[in-house]
Chain A
Amino acid sequence: MTDKILTHIQFSNINKYYAKKHLGIFTDRKNSKTILDSAEIELKGGKCVLLTGHNGSGKSTLLRILAGMLKPNSATVATGFESLSWKKANKLIRRQVMYLYQEPYMFDGSVTRNLRYALNDKQLGSKANHQITQALKWANLEHRAETSAKCLSGGERQRVALAQAWLKQPSILLLDEPTANMDEESRRSTEELLRRFKDSGTALLIASHDVNHFSQTMDKRLLLEKGKVFEIADHVNSAHDNVSLFPNTSNKLKA
């Protein structure tokens, strides 16, 4: 089942709270802080979902849970094929989901070395160099191939991370504020690369507090507030999507 390419995944009933701990050992459930309260989200191949919400609303937490980096207190996952336990889903997620930080982490060494880390064992054979060259070309980074990745600008780092994603070819790409603190040119080139991912059938989920960005790319806009996800039905492209994002209409918020 895990070898099937994901074209559709639904996460529902995602709950996450942080409980206070005494002496770092004893959990105090009464003084817990709820971050996500029965949040739900659906992602489809070739569609781009923009997740908005004010700073501290839990966007990063939600993305990190979807990326399998953070364990939720509870969650249900269903793909187009089956319902999965969190443990099984996590395996699938690790293989098919990729998460990009606002400021992507660059490992010690050249851009080429950083790209090499994104290749799986099968890709690491004789064609590895060719694949890396292609990735550099795709992200317009050929002139930076041998530069130390730690010395790159924010925009270039984001392009390296996207080139890594291009090599890994995930079914779902999660991006946390991908264009924050970027100049106009870097923002445009990042958006262009994201559009290419979308066109190739990748499901995109972009968390951004700036609602005006990605208007050309997004198909849905969601709002994360008080731990719940609401759909904002104000986008022109939403008419094209014939499947409702949430069967449960009580979660819908009119904007």
Chain B
Amino acid sequence: MESVSSTILEAIALLFSGDAELWGIIGISFRISTTAIIIAMIPAVLIGFTLAYADFPGRRLLISIFNTLLAVPAVVVGLTLYIVLSRQGPLGEWKLLFSQTAMVIGQIALSFPILVAMSHSAFQSVEIRAWDTARTLGRNPLSAFFIIMKEVRFGLLGALLAGYGRIIAEVGASMMLGGNILNSTRNIPTAIAMETSKGEFAQGIALGIILVSMAFILTMSLQYMQGKGSIRT
């Protein structure tokens, strides 16, 4: 019991000591995941919107495909991209394996189905009447799209948070595509996995505290904004 509490204290001390290696890992993690979510967000929201409002052949099939992709484990995504990016793979020439770019690609692939599925359901929560109303009021398609985006802003924010939550804490694909190289591709989850396997829990707990705090802050800010939205007139 004493050792657990002393490890936690050690972890907190490590966080406040400004340990360069620890904060370097945190920086890499946030940089990679933020880049991935920004790249994935725009096409995913557009696809979610199209799936919700447009009627075209194969729409239902596409929805089923994206919902299926939600359930694909991160390790399988990592393995697939590993094969594609490895030296003998179709994109082997690009020499991307074990780089931050490879990790960004992996995280885009992981967050994309969540972003599509959740933005699709966010758009679906607003009936087609909203779109038709904006259009009949004389708004052009782009302007109508932004009006609808505003209507579903909390649903879209929820999608972003869920997508971000999945990739920032994901270990399988990051490990396979990044290779856990210090100061390059070692991020929070791969560092936690490695430190734990070495029996050194302090750094792992310190990084865990960061992840949990981040999840808490993001969820609280979403709730705050939703609350503010509901009383706004």
Contacts and interface: CB of A to CB of B under 8 A. Distances in A.
B191 to A, nearest CB: 42
A23 B57 CA distance: 9
B227 interface: no
Contact of A25 (B57, B130, B132, B138): B57
A110 B233 contact: yes
A148 interface: yes
B135 interface: yes
B150 to A, nearest CB: 7
A146 B232 CA distance: 10
Interface size for chain B: under 10, 10 to 19, 20 to 34, or 35 or more residues? 20 to 34
A154 interface: no
B221 to A, nearest CB: 19
A105 B133 contact: yes
B58 to A, nearest CB: 5
Interface size for chain A: under 10, 10 to 19, 20 to 34, or 35 or more residues? 20 to 34
A107 B57 CA distance: 30
Contacts of A20: none
B61 interface: yes
Contacts of A97: 136
Contact of B229 (A26, A67, A108, A168): A108
A25 B58 CA distance: 5
Interface string A17-42: 00001011111000000000000000
A118 B138 contact: yes
B139 interface: yes
Contacts of A26: 57
B49 to A, nearest CB: 17
9 contacts: A23-B61, A25-B57, A64-B132, A99-B136, A104-B133, A107-B151, A108-B150, A117-B134, A117-B139
Given A69-B135, A105-B132, 14 more contacts: A24-B58, A25-B57, A25-B61, A26-B57, A67-B132, A68-B135, A69-B132, A97-B136, A98-B136, A98-B137, A99-B132, A101-B133, A105-B133, A109-B232
